[in-house]
Structure 1
Amino acid sequence: MEEEKSSSPRTTTTTHIALVSIPALSHQVSILEFAKRLLNLHHNHHHFHVTCIIPTLPSQNNNTFFFDSLPPNIHCIFLPPVNFDDLRNDSSMSLEAQLSLAISRSLPSIREALNTLNSTTNNNLVALVVDAIAHEALHFGKDLKNKNKPLSSYIYFACSAMLLSLCLHSRKLDQIVPCEYRDYPNLIQIPGCISVHGKDLPNSVQDRSSLAYKLYLRRCKDYFLADGILVNSFIEMEQGAFQSFLSQSQEEVIIPPVYAIGPITQTSGGRNNNNGWECLQWLDNQPPKSVLYVSFGSGGTLSQEQINELALGLELSGHRFLWANVREPNDKACASYLSGDGAEPLSFLPEGFTERTKEKGLVLGSWVPQIEVLGHGSVGAFLSHCGWNSVLESVVKGVPMIAWPLFAEQRTNAAMVTDSLRVALRPNNDNNNGVVLKEEIADIIKRLMEGSEGEEIRRRMEKLKDLAGCAFMEDGSSTKTLSKLALIWKSMAP
């Protein structure tokens, strides 16, 4: 049934936690980094064992370096790939719908893995924690018994508290807003957060007649069934959102306990390929805070026209840059999210660009150790797709941002970092068929890297960095919350 990584679960008495992730590396990294945080709590790391069940897709390449580097008391089970042959020619299905369908088709294997795990852990399996997109697996906790009681079941919400607030408010919004959200003339009010334009809500809500929207509403409804929701954020960054969960529970609906356990980020990007070494060595030779790091994440893609404009804008700005994960052009922003890298990226760049910028720029077509890049003293800013992992990594390292969202919830994240936290600038792509032109790209780079506006943003990001560091100190807010969870789970063990 399954392919196993790491060692087998211990037979000694431990508190055992089961995780269920989704076929997306960014989500897998986040939930497993959470597991590492749990194990590393100073007073209980010898008492926990974690097993993570991971559905897979046929086209997926697992990052073996990350999984091979996990500690021995984290055990991963990779399920057999789901069959998507019937959807091979369906280009209309959104990313969110594909991931949800992958989980639905993996449910029998997930159930079998959980039953096997529960029968072989000496009844020490005390809690089930499922990725927010794997919400259907939440119901399995009711079938698994610990001390003749249903297993405690939790949602791991790998995104912001702002997005969770939107999800928990979704049914009410669905009744209030009479049209497509993007066409709504008023701002969308999200409890405890800034109000946003409808166009900045996640992709999954942008077509209310679509399968993706129906799945989104079903997912949000299931969140209320959880015994708790673990959010990868911290109170000091999203105080209003976390406060709103308490007030809504008192006034409108009963929201499960919400635990702020972030910022959970990858602790090391690793240096297991030549590009990882090359980019860090290149950064070693650049002046402090002089480099703009450009990356659209593990799957973001740009059109050929936008690649041209971005390249020429970087050149026009006159600033140093490291552009990583450059991929084959595609008009679908998430084209590479569920598949491997395409052809040689340098062939898609404007003619002569690489030669003209070789003294100031480095372009790479594959993975780089992002957490180490952001922590490098030469990096002064981050042009990012605003995936939540990247946002948190930028916060943890104190690097101001240019917000360039592509798909999923990235526009909502961009609105937060730009308009609420004010640690980012955002280019305008309302004109020119959504293409950001080279002149605006050059201008926004200069605004962030030079002058008083960039300095103010940098100061705010430094303050946020300090707050993020405090959250995981021994008496920090997130450490206390995670310790509280650990004590709850340990109390359930025999």
Structure 2
Amino acid sequence: MESLTSAGSAPAPPTVRPHVVLLASPDAGHLIPLCELTRRLVEHHGFSATLVTFHSLSEQQSLPSSLPASVTIAPLPAVQIDDLPANAYRPTVLVELIRRSLPSLRTLLRSISSTTPIAALVPDFLCSTALPLATELGVPAYIFITTNITYLYLIHRLVELHEGASPGEYRALTDPLEIPGGLSLRRADLPEGYRSSKAPVYARLLAAGRRYRLAHGVLANSFSEMEPAAAEAFRQIAEQGAFPPVLPVGPLVRSESDEEAAAGASPVLEWLDGQPARSVVFVSFGSGGALSVEQTAELAAGLEATGHRFLWVVRMPSLDGRSYTFGAGADDDDPLVWLPQGFVQRTQGRGLAVAAWAPQVRVLSHPATAAFVSHCGWNSTLEGAVAGVPMIAWPLHTEQRMNALLLEESLGVALRLREREDGGVVAREEVAATVKELMGGG
């Protein structure tokens, strides 16, 4: 009997999925969007993936439950960094940790490529020192910017400014710095490392920006509708060959299912369920933002004076003047003890103060949430934008002042709180007036 399968009609060999290796810097704010990018590449674009993680500097970060099981997780071994100054600029410490991990990363990449052709290497933008490894392997590399296109434009301007500069010559950015779309950044609005050309970190930022030009492209956690002028400017810049193409791939935010898997049922959400629609002001400064003791008291007094319902995620105050405290505080520290005496009792029924954490994505999407007092970290900004919640901008560190200006002046989706001229504290009267204005009672 003849075979029913004729010659030439044998089943085609299975298609090999292109393999991408992604590098997440050791920071939760960077890990979350990179995991979401990984998920989309695997589930929607047919890639297989290895996610490389570095040793965390703070609390252990768990990977999102939405990350496909097929993704290979490759943690690199810890490296010694205790020789660095205790007060070192945090991004500098992160970059140094990554640099010291490069030998282990090289070994890992060579091991992967010996059995699986690597289609692309995608490092987080703090991992730009890994770009030469892609050149060694002969694979394309795409930098992933966890923040916005406006920040990327700042990097481009820094590199452009130093075209033709002699070694060791560092030129200051203009003050103000004009950004496409009419945004004018004063020196005080720039991320700390960009404010002075004499600061040691300035040279490292310039070196990183120059390395970005080794990449085949840049993936930005933003979208054209949010930053149309900056996106168009980069289209033209790429056409001129002055910078790699910039591809807006956002918004990449954590999902409600991830938070539900991590926290399960939440008393915060149960409390929100009992509040009227669009009535609650949500106050949160992210995983690393910190207020001083004085500022914590002023915020409490301001919220109390508004008469509006509020949900406040209270973190341990800063006792050393810093506006960030990544991983600070012992597990048994209770930030609620720093609230003014009687505050919780006086606001009981219309206000809820919770310690350290709340399921932010689920809170922002809850029907009771009307406004978001935010530090303007980019993850929080995108989560607020996706939920359609207007914001009160209270930037604290890194690029957050720049983000606040983008939200207030370019997009018109935020009101900016103003600090007192005599000490950088936002007064209770300013808090109350701004909340009332946004909520329609001012």
For the criterion TM > 0.5, the same-fold answer is: yes
The answer to whether residue 408 in structure 2 is matched with residue 408 in structure 1 is no
Match of 2:348 in 1: 358
8 A Cα contact 1:276 1:367, kept in partner: no
Match of 1:79 in 2: 76
1:454-473 per-residue CA deviation (whole Å, 9 max, x = no partner) reads xxxxxxxxxxxxxxxxxxxx
Match of 1:258 in 2: 246
1:335-394 per-residue CA deviation (whole Å, 9 max, x = no partner) reads 225887671111111111111112111111122211111000000000011011111111
- Residues in 2 aligned to 1:28 and 1:427: alpha-carbon distance in whole angstroms: 29
- Residues in 2 aligned to 1:14 and 1:250: alpha-carbon distance in whole angstroms: 30
After superposition, the Cα gap between the structure-2 partners of 1:250 and 1:12, relative to the gap in structure 1 and judged at 3 Å, is closer
1:214-243 per-residue CA deviation (whole Å, 9 max, x = no partner) reads 211111111111001011111111111111
Q: CA deviation at 1:111?
A: 1.4
TM-score by length of 1: 0.80
8 A Cα contact 2:131 2:215, kept in partner: yes
Match of 1:31 in 2: 34
The answer to whether residue 86 in structure 2 is matched with residue 90 in structure 1 is yes
> Which entry has the higher C-alpha Rg, 1 or 2?
2
Match of 1:223 in 2: 212
8 A Cα contact 1:275 1:364, kept in partner: no
After superposition, the Cα gap between the structure-2 partners of 1:36 and 1:152, relative to the gap in structure 1 and judged at 3 Å, is same
After superposition, the Cα gap between the structure-2 partners of 1:376 and 1:433, relative to the gap in structure 1 and judged at 3 Å, is same
Q: Which amino acid aligns with 1:77?
A: A
- Residues in 1 aligned to 2:351 and 2:360: alpha-carbon distance in whole angstroms: 17
After superposition, the Cα gap between the structure-2 partners of 1:259 and 1:381, relative to the gap in structure 1 and judged at 3 Å, is same
8 A Cα contact 1:100 1:215, kept in partner: no
Match of 2:147 in 1: 159
Which of the pair is proportionally richer in helix?
A: 1
Match of 1:490 in 2: none
Gaps of 5+ in 2: 1-13
1:86-117 per-residue CA deviation (whole Å, 9 max, x = no partner) reads 12x531x2122111112111111221221122
User: Pick from 19, 23, 28: which aligns with 1:20?
Assistant: 23
Gaps of 5+ in 1: 1-10, 145-149, 454-494
Q: CA deviation at 1:208?
A: 2.5
Q: Which amino acid aligns with 1:167?
A: I
Moved more, 413-422 or 206-215: 206-215
After superposition, the Cα gap between the structure-2 partners of 1:340 and 1:203, relative to the gap in structure 1 and judged at 3 Å, is farther
The answer to whether residue 33 in structure 2 is matched with residue 55 in structure 1 is no
User: Pick from 427, 434, 442: which aligns with 1:444?
Assistant: 434
8 A Cα contact 1:404 1:426, kept in partner: yes
Identity over aligned residues, as a percent? 38
- Residues in 1 aligned to 2:397 and 2:332: alpha-carbon distance in whole angstroms: 19
1:53-112 per-residue CA deviation (whole Å, 9 max, x = no partner) reads 11113x532233x4455211222222222322112x531x21221111121111112212
The answer to whether residue 267 in structure 2 is matched with residue 278 in structure 1 is yes
1:292-335 per-residue CA deviation (whole Å, 9 max, x = no partner) reads 11111011111111111111111111111111152243321122
1:223-267 per-residue CA deviation (whole Å, 9 max, x = no partner) reads 11100101111111111111111223445x521111111111112
Match of 2:136 in 1: 143
Q: Which amino acid aligns with 1:29?
A: I
8 A Cα contact 1:327 1:342, kept in partner: no
User: Pick from 372, 394, 417: which aligns with 1:427?
Assistant: 417
- Residues in 1 aligned to 2:59 and 2:184: alpha-carbon distance in whole angstroms: 38
SS at match of 2:355: coil
Match of 1:126 in 2: 119
The answer to whether residue 377 in structure 2 is matched with residue 387 in structure 1 is yes
The answer to whether residue 178 in structure 2 is matched with residue 189 in structure 1 is yes
The answer to whether residue 101 in structure 2 is matched with residue 106 in structure 1 is yes
The answer to whether residue 162 in structure 2 is matched with residue 168 in structure 1 is no
